[in-house]
Amino acid sequence: MSITLDAKIPSGPIEKKWDKHRFDLKLVNPANRRKYDVIVVGTGLAGASAAASLGELGYNVLSFCIQDSPRRAHSIAAQGGINAAKNYPNDSDSVWRLFYDTLKGGDYRAREANVYRLAQVSNAIIDHCTAQGVPFGREYGGLLANRSFGGAQVSRTFYCRGQTGQQLLLGAYGSLMRQACSGRVKVFARREMVELVVVKGRARGIVCRNLVTGKLESYAAHAVCLATGGYGNAFFLSTNANSCNASAIWRAYKKGALFANPCFTQIHPTCIPVSGTYQSKLTLMSESLRNDGRVWVPKKAGDKRSPDQIPEEERDYYLERRYPAFGNLVPRDVASRASKAVCDAGQGVGPTGLSVYLDFRDAIARDGLDSIRAKYGNLIDMYHHITDEDPHKLPMRIFPAVHYTMGGLWVDYNLMTTIPGLFCLGEANFSDHGANRLGASALMQGLADGYFVIPATLSGYLASEKQEALKADAPEFKEAEAQADARIRKLLSAEGKRTAVELHRELGKLMWEDCGMWRNESGLKRALERIPELREEFHKNVRVPGKNEEFNQSLERSGRVADYLECAELIVRDALERRESCGGHFREESRTPDGEALRDDEKFCHVAAWEYAGEGKAPELHKEPLAFEHCKPSQRSYK
């Protein structure tokens, strides 16, 4: 297939592009909308907001999720907040500044026009969520409160205590339930999409596995939206929920959708460290802790003294030392790498040597215990509960963990993939965060995509493409069902000796070691050899109990692991190909003399979009060049 990547960026000045585009897009007559069926897979912030808004417009929407209720999507776990350019605090924020910060934060690997639109619609998101009854934090005067988040120099983050994702999702879920009540949205919970159905080159439906009965079910539509979240669990341990998967976008990839920048993964610096091999997930400790906590390790490698026995002059406050201007508030990727570096040098603490201290001693002495507890009491208690260590007495121990994937399906300005009629929203697409996402910007992007972008662009697609009626018993559906069925049978018939979880853990370890925070040519090449071996071992030696025609969580898990074993290879291949450091992607070979990430704009100022070439064949790389007319790329510096 020869593919030209056309991002379909509208012409005109950047501030006018989105308005102009919305005017240029064709409309579907309100009376005709009910004749169009739209599938939305996923009910996180992106999917729930899209399904609800499309229902509000009058389309017939089919909404799918893995959990037993749409309200439980992974977005529920987001803590810190959501950005918008309201400039309520009068600290000189603006659409332009949010645009600039997001583009720079992403290390100049995102599209200007998309990012500008994101900043532009951000304010309408806050208005809408407030109207839905989302209980944002407020000031005594009754107006909305803002905080500075993730080292931003303006206070543009809106929040609901430490449960912002939950509240935003419940708002979107409420809107979705309202549409379900009106009959315009049908919700299918406990369904996992296992195939995409492409008819005459267009996305026309999906095949799902009903997770209660095991039955494969086909659904036809005029367009399909994937809002299935990120693929961070390719690393096994991450801050993601257990069911997060690459499977939906991986099926789309194998049917012809290009996968962009798969190697761009975000590693969050403040997570509770790994404590044992049984561990099933890593818990995030909010970024806000770095506002008052100081990060340090003992100066001497292998120092086993209790932290309170280590005198001041024998402590290495390495973030403050290396980055005097930003100190403990450097961006996520920079902080994570610095922590890894000290642990590699043997200065790490805790039983495994893979953690660093986050210390509130000085903040407590300065502001008093009450004031620190007022800000972080719930986090301190959570840490205490999980680790059985009391942060009032001894510093917390933290370590970086995989948190977010900036990569995802390639989409144009309309959020359409390279398969016509297949749209991709939220964390599942690659669109707005470049090589590194800023704190509180994922929630903003998910809701921008769902509430405001998709209702316009999907309508434009439906209005301009005449499509024949199609039923879910067309041969293409039967064929897709047969493909899914064959994969399921293969998993069940291996009858080997190892569990999918064990093999997943092994994949995660390999990815973390060779394609984690610190990547180099030889490690990546090694991973490229090891992953196919592990995949072979999986298909030969996995043991999946039970049968398909029942509620079978082991089968669900093994299907997702099988896809991760393929997706991981693409992540590594992309990381190998991108011989520069940018954002969360750090190549040891591409460093400044003092060890910081060094971009190579001459060779790598592009989106790397991978095309599936068939079983056993190397995927084909397509490049979408990135042009910067408004923000000239500069080297990020936090010194």
Ligand X SMILES: Cc1cc2nc3c(=O)[nH]c(=O)nc-3n(C[C@H](O)[C@H](O)[C@H](O)COP(=O)(O)OP(=O)(O)OC[C@H]3O[C@@H](n4cnc5c(N)ncnc54)[C@H](O)[C@@H]3O)c2cc1C
Residues annotated as part of the active site: 332
Binder of another protein out of 170, 422, 424, 607 (CB under 8 A) = 170
Nearer to another protein, 416 or 555 (CB): 555
Rounded to whole angstroms, how far apart are CA atoms 601 and 608?
A: 13
Q: How far is the CB of 327 from ligand X (least distance, A)?
A: 22
132 binds another protein, rule: CB under 8 A:
yes
Q: How far is the CB of 632 from ligand X (least distance, A)?
A: 27
Residues in region 215-244 near another protein by CB under 8 A = 241-243
Nearer to ligand X, 108 or 159 (CB): 159
Residues contributing to the site for ligand X (CB under 6 A): 41-47, 64-67, 73-75, 77-82, 164-165, 191-193, 227-230, 239-240, 244-245, 247-248, 284, 403-404, 426-428, 440-443, 446
494 binds another protein, rule: CB under 8 A:
no
Q: How far is the CB of 239 from ligand X (least distance, A)?
A: 4
174 binds, among another protein, ligand X, none (CB under 5 to 8 A by kind): another protein
Q: How far is the CB of 240 from ligand X (least distance, A)?
A: 5
Q: Provide long-range contacts, Cβ within 8 A and 24+ apart, for 345-348.
A: 345/301, 346/301, 346/302, 347/297, 347/298, 347/299, 347/300, 347/301, 347/303, 347/316, 348/297
Nearer to ligand X, 224 or 462 (CB): 224
193 binds, among ligand X, another protein, none (CB under 5 to 8 A by kind): ligand X
142 binds another protein, rule: CB under 8 A:
yes
Nearer to another protein, 74 or 437 (CB): 74
Rounded to whole angstroms, how far apart are CA atoms 557 and 536?
A: 17
Work out the angle at residue 207's Cα, subtended by the Cα atoms of residues 237 and 614, and round it to the nearest 5 degrees. 70
Nearer to another protein, 63 or 414 (CB): 63
Rounded to whole angstroms, how far apart are CA atoms 418 and 428?
A: 14
**HEC per residue, 97-110:** HHHHHHHHHCCCCC
Helix (H, G, I), strand (E, B) or coil at 584: coil
414 binds, among ligand X, another protein, none (CB under 5 to 8 A by kind): none
Helix (H) or strand (E) holding 475: helix 475-493
Q: Give the range of 31-39, 93-101, 170-178, 412-420 binding another protein by CB under 8 A.
A: 170-178
58 binds another protein, rule: CB under 8 A:
no
Nearer to ligand X, 75 or 339 (CB): 75
Binder of another protein out of 114, 175, 228, 590 (CB under 8 A) = 175
229 binds, among ligand X, another protein, none (CB under 5 to 8 A by kind): ligand X
Which one-letter DSSP state was computed for residue 12? S
Residues in region 260-289 near another protein by CB under 8 A = 275-276, 278-281, 283
51 binds, among another protein, ligand X, none (CB under 5 to 8 A by kind): none
Nearer to another protein, 53 or 247 (CB): 53
Helix (H) or strand (E) holding 189: none
223 binds, among another protein, ligand X, none (CB under 5 to 8 A by kind): none
Closest residue to ligand X, Cβ-based? 44
Nearer to ligand X, 208 or 297 (CB): 208
> What residue has token string 């508030």?
329
227 binds, among another protein, ligand X, none (CB under 5 to 8 A by kind): ligand X
Helix (H, G, I), strand (E, B) or coil at 550: coil
492 binds another protein, rule: CB under 8 A:
no
69 binds another protein, rule: CB under 8 A:
yes
Say if CB 290 and CB 335 are below 8 A apart.
Answer: yes
451 binds another protein, rule: CB under 8 A:
yes
373 binds, among another protein, ligand X, none (CB under 5 to 8 A by kind): none
Q: How far is the CB of 397 from ligand X (least distance, A)?
A: 18
607 binds, among another protein, ligand X, none (CB under 5 to 8 A by kind): none
Token pair in block for residue 171: 């708002």
Say if CB 86 and CB 93 are below 8 A apart.
Answer: yes
Phi/psi at 226 (nearest 5 deg)?
Answer: -100, 125
Rounded to whole angstroms, how far apart are CA atoms 411 and 434?
A: 13
- What is the residue-wise DSSP string for 257-298? --EE-TT-EEEEEEEPPP--TT-----B--GGGGGT-EEEEE
387 binds another protein, rule: CB under 8 A:
yes
In order of 337, 363, 366, 399, the CA distances from 370 in angstroms are 33, 11, 11, 26
Nearer to another protein, 144 or 341 (CB): 144
Say if CB 439 and CB 280 are below 8 A apart.
Answer: no
Residues that contact another protein, how many (by CB under 8 A):
77
Residues in region 147-166 near another protein by CB under 8 A = 160-161, 163, 166
Q: How far is the CB of 629 from ligand X (least distance, A)?
A: 27
CB-based contacts of 400, cutoff 8 Å, min separation 6: 267, 268, 269, 270, 271, 335, 336, 339, 340, 517
Helix (H, G, I), strand (E, B) or coil at 542: strand
Say if CB 438 and CB 105 are below 8 A apart.
Answer: yes
Q: How far is the CB of 81 from ligand X (least distance, A)?
A: 5
Q: How far is the CB of 157 from ligand X (least distance, A)?
A: 8
Rounded to whole angstroms, how far apart are CA atoms 197 and 205?
A: 5
Q: Give the range of 6-14, 215-223, 330-338, 550-558 binding another protein by CB under 8 A.
A: 550-558
Helix (H, G, I), strand (E, B) or coil at 556: helix
Strand residues in 159-299 grouped as ranges (E): 185-188, 191-199, 202-210, 216-220, 223-226, 259-260, 265-271, 294-298
Rounded to whole angstroms, how far apart are CA atoms 130 and 171?
A: 9
Nearer to ligand X, 66 or 334 (CB): 66
